[in-house]
Amino acid sequence: MIQMKKTALYMIWLLLAMGVAVVQSCSSDAEDNGKASGTMHRRVLTMDLSLGGFTETSSRATSSFSNGDKVYIDFGGAMGTAEYNGGQWTIECPDDLQEADNGTCSVVYIQNASSEGSQTVSLSTESIVYEATGEYTNTVDMMSVSAALSPATSRVHFRGTAGTEITVRGLKRSEQFDVSSFSFSETTDDVQLTVKSDGYTDYVYCLFASDGNELAIVSDGSTFTRSFGSNVLQAGHSGYITIPTANSYSGWETDSRTDVSIDGSDYDGDSDWNQEDQEPDIN
């Protein structure tokens, strides 16, 4: 009889221990899979965006975006990625933003990215970065973001004889965007360009790499260097620079070597910078 009581008590103790373990396991799963701070979720987003061109403002209505277009948003440290598909925007953002809130946000749109991943976006010389400080509203029923985006860089192309190949030094452009830190890494690598049949190279979206606005162009076995005025390569401005040649390089210093690095110039002017009144191709 005593043995049976001991066995019964042991079974009760064992069941209680198992119950505690199950409760702890469920609690742990809830913490891991529930809506803890930082957990990402997706919801519908209303977007009111405009894109500032390189001369004038052009509105981008929702219908003018293409499936897969993405806009990156920093809600004061909480990052979200909005994506356009099937006529509407959805955003993947942390649960921290589920509570009713509104305020300012940083907005980035990258056009012509060479590749887009969930954590990084790679850019080329033809990628265009648009930035803005926008406003957002977040309620239980809806979320909206409005922003007037403008180019973060200038755009420049080079005029010369069709087929001419040049190397350009002294330009700075964005190379990669890190989604989690909401930051760009930059490169000052040489840019290789070829003059097309219309007499111009492709556009490069960039700024000067140095405070002295120094530029070097390698062409026809020689390097041409000079410094430009402060109005050249300003963000949001567009223009072209005529490629200097051995027979025409007024305002440029010339060197018969092709490995010349930029270390300053005695010239300071902008006569070779030609402002353009053209809209960027945003379609």
Over the stretch 97-123, which tens digit does the pLDDT of each residue have? 656 678 999 999 999 999 998 899 999
Which among 167, 211, 205 has a CA at the least distance from the CA of 189? 167
Report yes or no: 169 and 190 within 8 Å, Cβ to Cβ. yes
When pLDDT is cut at 50, 70 and 90, the band that residue 65 belongs to is confident
Q: Residue 267 in contact with residue 251, Cβ under 8 Å?
A: yes
At residue 29, does pLDDT exceed 50? no
Q: CA-to-CA distance for 113 and 173, rounded, in angstroms?
A: 13
What is the rounded (10 degree) CA torsion for 81, 59, 85, 39? 20
Q: Which residue has the higher pLDDT, 67 or 280?
A: 67
What pTM did the predictor assign? Answer: 0.76
Q: How many CB atoms lie within 10 A of CB 231?
A: 12
Distance CA 31, CA 122 (A): 35
CB burial readout 13-38, b (16+ within 10 A) else e: eeeeeeeeeeeeeeeeeeeeeeeeee
Task: Tell me the average pLDDT across 231-247.
Answer: 92
CB atoms closer than 10 angstroms to residue 165? 13
CA–CA dist 177, 184 (Å, integer): 4
Q: List, in sequence order, the alpha helices (H) in 107-220.
A: none
Mean predicted lDDT score pLDDT of the chain = 79
Coil, strand, or helix at residue 12?
helix
Of the pLDDT bands very low, low, confident and very high (cuts 50, 70, 90), residue 269 is very low
Using pLDDT thresholds of 50, 70 and 90, give the confidence band for residue 258: low
